[in-house]
Amino acid sequence: MTRREKAILKRNIFLAVCAVIIIAVIALIVYIISVVGSDNNTESSSQQVTSSEINSSEAPSSSEALSSVESSASNATSSKENTKHKLDPDYKNLMLVNGWNPLPKDYDYEGNLTTIPKKYIKGSLTQIDKDIWPYLKAMLDDAKAEGIDIGVWSPYRSYATQKWLFEKQVKKQIANGVPESEAEDKAATIVARPGTSEHNTGLALDINCANHSFAKTKAFKWLQENAEDYGFIMRYAEEKQEKTGVIYESWHWRFVGINVAHEINDLGMCLEEYIEYKK
Ligand SMILES: [Zn+2]
């Protein structure tokens, strides 16, 4: 073998070794990409499951479904614990307002309100007591993260709004044949007189609607199981109408405080009975 032939052989061996190394590196890169890629695929397919579950559960609008998916993806592990832990379980508000406990004449209706962000609103009214808003927000966020179609229908109402609603209900009763002398009292079991509604305090709200069909929804079932953990009770139970003066309203939820809500539910009392019991 000549010197020149030896040199060519050496160069060919070197090129072959280089080619093997390059192929090995490319194979390694392809392998790494395929492993990482398959992890991503797993995540996105689980998100698709969440999304289709949400869509089939109560058919919220697509933007609501999207925001539910976003929040469940970003808060998947910590949302419930985090939001609950920031809430003070001892904070309470037992202000009693009903047909025979009106708000004082000099009550400051506008005194302690905040505006609820649009994404939580289902009706036209948007204000709530600012101290209870963190509790309501946590409840709505956690319910949404679990795929529940939930939103604020009617929160705080001014004296004027309550007056308008009450007068409308009186006219409805008269139109339904109730004598004028009885129409106001009948109307008051359905819509409180101005100054005697919990809505005037900003401590209560109607959720999703003000309609008896609400009792059949997943949102109602979720609230029955979870609302006390955020300080809310269903204020007007069917069996308590004599004590509350208000018909059964599955949609009307009142903030009392987390510990108090648990206690009231454990005792099976309405707020009127609980306040009497605590005296
Ligand atoms: Zn209500």
Long-range residue pairs from 78-84, CB within 8 A, at least 24 positions apart, any chain: 79/141, 79/142, 79/145, 80/142, 80/145, 83/137, 83/138, 83/141, 83/142, 84/138, 84/142, 84/229, 84/230
Q: Write down the pLDDT at residue 12.
A: 77
Å from CA of 250 to ligand 1 middle: 9
- Determine the angle formed by the axes of helices 62-75 and 133-145, rounding to 10 degrees: 100
> 205 phi and psi, to 5 degrees?
-155, 155
DSSP 117: P
Let me know if 225 is exposed, middle or buried by CB neighbors in 10 A (0-12, 13-18, 19+). exposed
Q: Is 249 a catalytic residue?
A: yes
Q: In CATH, what number does 78-157+197-278 get?
A: 3.30.1380.10
The pLDDT tens digits for 186-210 are: 999 999 999 999 999 999 999 999 9
- Determine the angle formed by the axes of helices 62-75 and 3-58, rounding to 10 degrees: 120
Return the C-alpha torsion angle 138, 140, 142, 147, nearest 10: -170
Q: Residues 37-61: what's their mean pLDDT?
A: 32
Largest CA distance in the chain: 127
Å from CA of 139 to ligand 1 middle: 17
Among the listed residues 137, 140, 88, 93, the one whose alpha carbon sits nearest the alpha carbon of residue 112: 93
The pLDDT tens digits for 254-277 are: 999 999 999 999 999 999 999 999
Let me know if 134 is exposed, middle or buried by CB neighbors in 10 A (0-12, 13-18, 19+). middle
CB 197 within 8 A of CB 206: no
Angle at Cα 159 formed by Cα 170 and Cα 97, nearest 5°? 85
Contacts of 129 (CB under 8 A, 6+ apart): 93, 112, 113, 114, 156, 201, 202, 203, 255
Q: Write down the pLDDT at residue 65.
A: 35
How many C-beta atoms surround the C-beta of residue 79 within 10 A?
18
- Least-confidence region, from 20-29, 56-65, 218-227: 56-65
Which has more confidence, 57 or 150? 150
How many whole angstroms separate alpha carbon 192 and alpha carbon 245? 9
Among the listed residues 224, 251, 236, the one whose alpha carbon sits nearest the alpha carbon of residue 97: 236
Confidence at 60, pLDDT banded by 50, 70, 90? very low
The catalytically annotated residue of 146, 198, 228, 249 is 249
Token output for 27? 């194979």
Å from CA of 251 to ligand 1 middle: 7
Confidence at 85, pLDDT banded by 50, 70, 90? low
Average pLDDT, the chain: 82
Q: Residues 119-132: what's their mean pLDDT?
A: 97
Confidence at 20, pLDDT banded by 50, 70, 90? low
Which residues are in the CB-under-5-Å shell of ion ligand 1? 206, 252
Q: Write down the pLDDT at residue 130.
A: 97
Q: Write down the pLDDT at residue 9.
A: 74
Token output for 60? 């919220």
- The reported pTM is 0.69
Q: Give me the percent of the chain exceeding a pLDDT of 70.
A: 75
Q: Write down the pLDDT at residue 8.
A: 72
CB 235 within 8 A of CB 252: yes
How many whole angstroms separate alpha carbon 201 and alpha carbon 118? 21
Å from CA of 276 to ligand 1 middle: 23
Q: Write down the pLDDT at residue 15.
A: 72
Q: Residues 42-68: what's their mean pLDDT?
A: 32
pLDDT of 18 higher than 80:
no
Q: Residues 3-18: what's their mean pLDDT?
A: 73
How many whole angstroms separate alpha carbon 30 and alpha carbon 92? 60
Q: Write down the pLDDT at residue 80.
A: 52
Å from CA of 198 to ligand 1 middle: 7
